[in-house]
Structure 1
Amino acid sequence: MGPGVTYPWGSRLSGFQMRTWIEPVVASTQVAGSLYDAGLLLVVKESFASNHTASQSLRGHQEDQQQKAISNFYIIYNLVVGLTPLLSAYGLGWLSDRYHRKISICTSMLGFLLCRIGLLLKVMLDWPVEVMYGAAALSGLCGGFSAYWSGVMALGSLGSSEGRRSLRLILIDLVLGLAGFCGSMASGHLFKQMVGHSAQGLLLTACSVGCAAFALFYSLFVLKVPESVSKPNNVYPTVDTVSGMVGTYRTLDPDELDKQNVSGNPLTSGKRKPSLTIITLLFVGAIVYDLAVVGTVDVMALFVLKEPLSWNQVQLGYGMASGYIIFITSFLGVLVFSRCFRDTTMIIIGMVSFATGALLLAFVKETYMFYIARAVMLFALIPITTIRSAMSKLIKDSSYGKVFVILQQCLALTGVVTSTIYNKIYQLTLDKFAGTCFVLSSFLSFLAIVPIGIVAYKQVPRPQQGERAEK
């Protein structure tokens, strides 16, 4: 990183300033989450495998039955995870805006901890897998991921200037990706460490609980809310040297438009209306793209467990870890592309990257082919991160909690619908063409380019019209 890439609170670090960093919370929470996700899938797989071993004689038929059982479990589980936060997430976001920024983060992380304790008890006491529905509901009632991530984004946006916000948010995503990579890489090895068959996964789930507990106590007793940094840097060249990040948002940033007005470029009288239109189009693009991503991730976990791949626990952990590599490559992609491309161009690059990789996944027959498809998705994180950063610059900082919760809730709600549909499609096409869902995701990702393309089209003629009016 160059000298211009610094944290929003300045170069001189004090104990208090370091306590405003949200990264330790994000890292520990994500390690706990990646361990939990891998552990839940492996525990559910082992549970249904033991249920079908005695009754099924043919291996292929047994595998199909197991796949359908796991898929049905995740249909209900994802419905619970996606719908229960609707009851509490918005209220937590409102309370965070009105009273204290940490309310949504701490409450949701309490739910995470209780959910991971539920999986630990399931492993220790050999409870039926259906108990995880209750654990997921408890986590959702505490706000779930919607309240948690909107709170994280609010703190990240609150403590960063307009000029450095996009870099600040993608740095948080980078920390999340690195933590998820480490957790996933270790998950398969930790799952194999067991005292007995009934305790399989005990060490893995215990580590997940430990990381979740650390994140909760850190957020309660160490984390401090940063002071608001609502204004961008006053010197225009200095802002422009932050790896070119701000230059990609000038047409979306009202403050940057104010600067242009001072320097001689008049604002159009309808600034509010175009901004609302841009927000709506970005919103639609984010939802459609997220549908494609959610559907692919849900089906991918089942796809690699069956033939022709038939992965074991360690291979599954490595496969999940490969998904977190995109946090690193997307971060590097933003730093490079932002020097020569606009934000809309970077979003489209990310969408094309994911769409192409999803299409390749549909025809995977060998493990190396899977990793090739994942490598093609190297810029898949750019769209959502860039859209979220751009939207944060078009709203007041006092509304971050509510707006981010609304966006995250819409993504979660549509994701629930997508998860259900994708799992049903996967069950119906399992015997014919198991990659059907990946083809559908590729189509949706290409479709998401349409609203982003409209945003790009709206951005180009506006300066030209101003110049003509001037002349």
Structure 2
Amino acid sequence: MDAPSPGEPGARAAQAPGEPAESGSASRPRVWRGWGPVELVVFLANFSLALQRPLTTQYLWHRLGAEVGYNGTSRGGGCNHTEDPKQQEVETLTSHWSLYIDLSGFFVGLFSATLLGPWSDRVGRRPLLVLASSGLLLQVIVSILVVNLELHVGYLALGRLLSALLGDYNALLGTSFASVADVSTASSRTLRMAMLEACLGISGMLASIAGGHWIKAQGYINPFWLALAILITTTLYAAFVFRESVPQPQKASLFTLQHYRLVYRLFAAPAPGKSRKNLALYLLALFLVLTIHFGTWDIAVVYELSWPLCWGSDLIGYGSAAQHLSYLVGLVQLWVFQLCLKDSWVAEISLAFNIVGMVVFSVARTTALMFTGYGILSFSLVVTPVIRAKLSKLVNKTEQGALFSCIACVSGIAMLSATGIFNSLYPATLNFMKGFPFLLGAFVLLIPAIVIGVLEISDPRSEYQETLY
């Protein structure tokens, strides 16, 4: 069910002259509802992030390599086709600095996401989208200053911290999913969320291919300028074009413990059909899937830059594009499989592809085998929209912002865990099995597969909101 349009009675925030005022109408300011879909916010923000993520890792690799005197770090790619001790030192430094940068914004991100998500249930989704995109904008400005002025790489952590203060990418993504939940029915929600994730895939593919060739041709600074321009566009679109999905936004204080209580009530307050056990177990499954997803993406670029693959920035761009292809393939996969299978079993198939892809990565020593792994993994990302949709159906419409802020926190914890585990494990296992972290990821993914299967078999009922929405 779509949200009321600006001309419909349900969208009015104030009465016409001469009519009696509604109870509480003084707390509802007039708002510009807009007409643009939230998908474009996600597309633009993720394009910028997908452009920056491998860009930052490669910049760290080449900058730190130059500092230690490693001669296999030319911008055109390649490395010494041998086990060079200095290469291992660069791999270790790059992994550790990636960890430090992510840690710098982690705790602040948890605080801000939990605060801002329930706030958006009252004031609308637009304010949070504007705040989060502004934070990402500040982060890319700091990155430009570091690259342009050759500042210490530690300043990249400052940019991450500024972004986390304003909600970070997890808050932007969580608010976008909450907006989709606001305007979708229970029966269409899984597909709508898969469509939103497909925007991640399309934007990621375009950014990765363009970024890989661009770095090789012109270096690092120009791609960062493009990321800046895109985030400025994202912020303006969220502020003036995005269609507000909360029917009647109200004034609400931002800094209040009430927002944290709303998150607590998701698990403590009884509701028809809502199960604390199901909420907790689906969040556990999502946490494990995202941990492996973020962790393997974190080390993939370093894995590809180093011996024996020795990829250049163009091949890294194609590899990153192949990673993002899984979002688009997942949408088609979900649409086809929903014709004959329940969502949970579609998620199980997705996890099976993910496990096999991780195993292929763990033994990949050639470009052909690495891209074979990417091909298998292109069928692996249906599981995340399925879990998000199932969680969304376990709470009512007035709790969507609180739920997705909780999911944003889980995503943040998963990102921290992934960075800490994989960026520490990867250099520690270089001497006996370089691809061991991927093999560990395949084993861990068996746990969410078991959790989702058990929940579906033990409680196959349709979610209770099917009759309420």
- 2:294, 2:414 within 8 Å by CA — same for their partners in 1? no
Distance in 2 (CA, whole Å) between partners of 1:175 and 1:9 is: 21
- 2:285, 2:448 within 8 Å by CA — same for their partners in 1? yes
Alignment partner of 1:142 is 2:158: no
Amino acid at match of 2:276: L
What is the total number of aligned residue pairs between the two structures?
A: 409
Matches within 5 A, 1:365-376: 365-376=365-376
**TM-score (normalizing by structure 2):** 0.82
Amino acid at match of 2:358: A
- 1:20, 1:226 within 8 Å by CA — same for their partners in 2? no
Per the alignment, in what secondary structure is the counterpart of residue 278 of structure 1? helix
Distance in 1 (CA, whole Å) between partners of 2:442 and 2:247 is: 40
Per the alignment, in what secondary structure is the counterpart of residue 163 of structure 1? coil
Per the alignment, in what secondary structure is the counterpart of residue 309 of structure 2? coil
1:355 alignment partner in structure 2: 355
The Cα of 1:193 is off from its aligned counterpart by 3.7
Deviation string, structure 1 residues 84-130 (Cα, Å, up to 9, x no partner): 20121111112211222222211111110010111111121111211
Distance in 1 (CA, whole Å) between partners of 2:171 and 2:70 is: 43
- 2:353, 2:379 within 8 Å by CA — same for their partners in 1? yes
The Cα of 1:80 is off from its aligned counterpart by 2.1
Distance in 2 (CA, whole Å) between partners of 1:414 and 1:171 is: 23
Determine which of 236, 244, 249 is the counterpart of 1:217: 236
The Cα of 1:59 is off from its aligned counterpart by 6.8
Distance in 2 (CA, whole Å) between partners of 1:55 and 1:329 is: 39
2:297 alignment partner in structure 1: 297
Matches within 5 A, 1:123-134: 123-134=147-158
Distance in 2 (CA, whole Å) between partners of 1:62 and 1:163 is: 55
Per the alignment, in what secondary structure is the counterpart of residue 330 of structure 1? helix
- Identity within the alignment, %: 21
Distance in 2 (CA, whole Å) between partners of 1:314 and 1:111 is: 29
Structure 1 segments, 4+ long, off by >6 Å, are 54-59
Alignment partner of 1:459 is 2:459: yes
Per the alignment, in what secondary structure is the counterpart of residue 128 of structure 1? coil
The Cα of 1:146 is off from its aligned counterpart by 2.2
Determine which of 209, 219, 233 is the counterpart of 1:185: 209
2:144 alignment partner in structure 1: 120
Amino acid at match of 1:387: I
2:127 alignment partner in structure 1: 103
Alignment partner of 1:175 is 2:175: no
**Unaligned 5+ residue runs, structure 1?**
1-6, 11-15, 195-199, 230-269, 464-471
**TM-score (normalizing by structure 1):** 0.82
1:310 alignment partner in structure 2: 310
1:28 alignment partner in structure 2: 44
1:152 alignment partner in structure 2: 176
Distance in 2 (CA, whole Å) between partners of 1:210 and 1:174 is: 22
Matches within 5 A, 1:15-94: 19-53=35-69, 60-94=84-118
Distance in 1 (CA, whole Å) between partners of 2:271 and 2:54 is: 47
Amino acid at match of 1:416: L
Amino acid at match of 2:65: A
**Unaligned 5+ residue runs, structure 2?**
5-31, 73-79, 249-269, 463-469
Matches within 5 A, 1:197-236: 200-226=219-245
CA RMSD of aligned residues (A): 2.6
Per the alignment, in what secondary structure is the counterpart of residue 445 of structure 2? helix
The Cα of 1:408 is off from its aligned counterpart by 1.8
Deviation string, structure 1 residues 253-305 (Cα, Å, up to 9, x no partner): xxxxxxxxxxxxxxxxx994674333232222111222222221112121111
CA 52–90 in structure 1, closer or farther in 2 if over 3 Å, else same: same
- 1:8, 1:164 within 8 Å by CA — same for their partners in 2? no
